[in-house]
């Protein structure tokens, strides 16, 4: 078994070199590693948010062909790519790695504007981000008050899914400036290995959100038997062809969102959940109830999800077939915890190069 482990590590390193190259557009992981190495998710996340915990990111500049980012005009500049991501002490290391990966693979990194959502003390997290990315001027911190959604949150299969900040994506249209008409929302447990501008320019047509859809997934499992047996609830999908999509990677038309008041629609389903218990997972089902069947499909390359394993006990997962632009450790297992525990999954080595935490290895 030792030679298999060593082979997996060597193969993973080679795979990482391919994936982390800017020319990965045509990469197809047909020979993805097969592994069933278990992960015990009892490891506690890093709580240290000291500035000295993270290395300073290198400087990334726009290529000559990039349009002017217009730094003086601020967040309303039409040439900016807007990315929203949460900052939380437990997932801070993942958020910083995600930002680092976006900057590394962007042809126009100075044209990316980061909207950071926080629900804890703003000052400490903002100063940490600015010290880690001292040359990053296009950023703003937004405080999301936990009480905004606290009374609407129901118990879930995992306590981590019950955190108020998981629901901040529902309120982007209210939190961000009215001049921001479109935003890419990204979870904190992923890395981007392609130019984010390609995702930004995805056409949404008449739809409000775009995301990779997975129509072969068992859609019924995301809701309880009581939901499917009650016409008051299951009738919401009448005339729709609902497919599962992961809310950790979405392109959102904020102008349409505001016009049709989608935040209120999501909150309504959360109120019903409190009374009727129609689903078990946290913030995902309300999105499915409102948008499934009305999603602009985006290439699966933009959400190679599930790398964190299942929602009960993490396990090693393979890449899906096809090209890769974004790797997402959704599920209970996070790469920084598994790497620190010396029990990494083979694909965790693809996350490691973006990690700016000083004492992670």
100-139 tens-digit pLDDT? 999 999 999 999 999 999 987 666 888 899 999 999 999 9
Q: Which residue has the tokens 């959100």?
A: 209
% of residues, the chain, pLDDT over 70: 79
Q: Any residues with CB less than 8 A from the CB of 79 and at least 6 apart, and which?
A: 67, 68, 69, 70, 111
Instruction: Give the CA distances from residue 340 to residues 66, 89, 331, 333, 361, in Å, rounded to whole numbers and listed in that order.
Output: 38, 17, 18, 12, 6
Of 282, 283, 327, whose CA–CA distance to 305 is shortest? Answer: 327
Rounded mean pLDDT of 2-19?
44
Rounded mean pLDDT of 319-323?
88
Query: What pLDDT is attached to residue 70?
Result: 52
Query: What pLDDT is attached to residue 312?
Result: 59
User: Quick one: pLDDT band at residue 12, thresholds 50, 70, 90?
Assistant: very low
Q: Any residues with CB less than 8 A from the CB of 7 and at least 6 apart, and which?
A: none
Is residue 229's pLDDT more than 50? yes
User: Quick one: pLDDT band at residue 317, thresholds 50, 70, 90?
Assistant: confident
- Tell me how far apart the alpha carbons of residues 233 and 185 are, in angstroms, rounded to a whole number: 28
Is residue 348's pLDDT more than 90? yes
- Tell me how far apart the alpha carbons of residues 338 and 42 are, in angstroms, rounded to a whole number: 10
User: Mind listing the pLDDT tens digit for each residue in 74-89?
Assistant: 899 999 999 999 998 8
Query: What pLDDT is attached to residue 46?
Result: 42
Between the ranges 3-7, 14-18, 351-355, where is the mean pLDDT highest? 351-355
Query: What pLDDT is attached to residue 33?
Result: 31
Query: What pLDDT is attached to residue 7?
Result: 39
Mean residue pLDDT of the chain comes to: 84
Is residue 215 packed enough to be buried (19+ CB in 10 Å), middle (13-18) or exposed (0-12)?
Answer: exposed
Strands (E), 146-258: 182-186, 190-192, 209-211, 213-214, 244-245, 249-253
**H helix count then E strand count, the chain:** 11, 11
Where is pLDDT greater, at 350 or 33? 350
Query: What pLDDT is attached to residue 78?
Result: 92
User: Mind listing the pLDDT tens digit for each residue in 166-209?
Assistant: 999 999 999 999 999 999 999 999 999 999 999 999 999 999 99
Rounded mean pLDDT of 273-291?
92
Rounded mean pLDDT of 248-258?
98
Where is pLDDT greater, at 63 or 17? 63
Secondary structure element (H or E) that encloses residue 97, with its range = helix 92-105
Secondary structure element (H or E) that encloses residue 197, with its range = helix 196-200
**β-strands 244-245, 182-186: how paired?**
unpaired
Query: What pLDDT is attached to residue 38?
Result: 34
Is residue 311's pLDDT more than 70? no
Rounded mean pLDDT of 313-326?
86
User: Quick one: pLDDT band at residue 69, thresholds 50, 70, 90?
Assistant: low
Query: What pLDDT is attached to residue 320?
Result: 84
Is residue 159's pLDDT more than 90? no
Where is pLDDT greater, at 217 or 39? 217
């Amino acid at each position: 078994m030792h030679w298999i482990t060593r082979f997996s590590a060597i193969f993973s390193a080679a795979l990482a070199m391919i994936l982390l190259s800017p020319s990965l557009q045509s990469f197809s992981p047909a020979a993805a590693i097969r592994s069933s190495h278990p992960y015990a998710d009892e490891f506690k996340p890093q709580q240290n948010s000291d500035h000295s915990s993270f290395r300073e990111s290198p400087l990334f500049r726009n290529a000559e062909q990039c349009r002017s980012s217009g730094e003086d005009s601020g967040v309303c500049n039409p040439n900016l790519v807007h990315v929203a991501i949460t900052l939380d002490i437990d997932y801070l290391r993942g958020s910083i790695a995600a930002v680092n990966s976006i900057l590394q693979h962007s042809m126009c990194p100075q044209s990316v504007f980061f909207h950071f959502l926080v629900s804890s003390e703003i000052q400490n997290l903002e100063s940490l981000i600015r010290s880690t990315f001292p040359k990053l001027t296009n950023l703003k911190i937004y405080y999301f008050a936990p009480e905004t959604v606290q009374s609407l949150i129901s118990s879930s299969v995992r306590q981590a899914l019950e955190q108020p900040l998981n629901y901040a994506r529902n309120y982007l249209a209210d939190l961000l400036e009215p001049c921001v008409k479109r935003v890419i929302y990204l979870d904190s447990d992923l890395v981007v290995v392609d130019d984010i501008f390609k995702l930004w320019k995805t056409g949404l047509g008449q739809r409000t959100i775009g995301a990779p859809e997975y129509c072969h997934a068992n859609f019924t499992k995301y809701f309880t038997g009581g939901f499917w047996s009650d016409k008051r609830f299951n009738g919401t999908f009448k005339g729709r062809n609902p497919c599962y999509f992961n809310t950790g990677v979405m392109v959102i038309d904020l102008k349409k969102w505001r016009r049709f008041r989608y935040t209120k629609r999501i909150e309504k389903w959360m109120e019903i959940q409190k009374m009727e218990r129609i689903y078990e997972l946290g913030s995902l089902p309300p999105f499915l109830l409102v948008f499934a069947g009305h999603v602009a499909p985006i290439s699966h390359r933009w959400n190679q999800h599930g790398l964190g394993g299942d929602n009960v006990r993490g396990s090693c997962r393979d890449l899906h077939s096809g090209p890769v632009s974004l790797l997402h450790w959704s599920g209970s297992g996070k790469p920084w915890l598994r790497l620190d525990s010396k029990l990494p999954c083979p694909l965790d080595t693809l996350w490691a190069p973006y990690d700016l935490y000083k004492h992670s290895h």
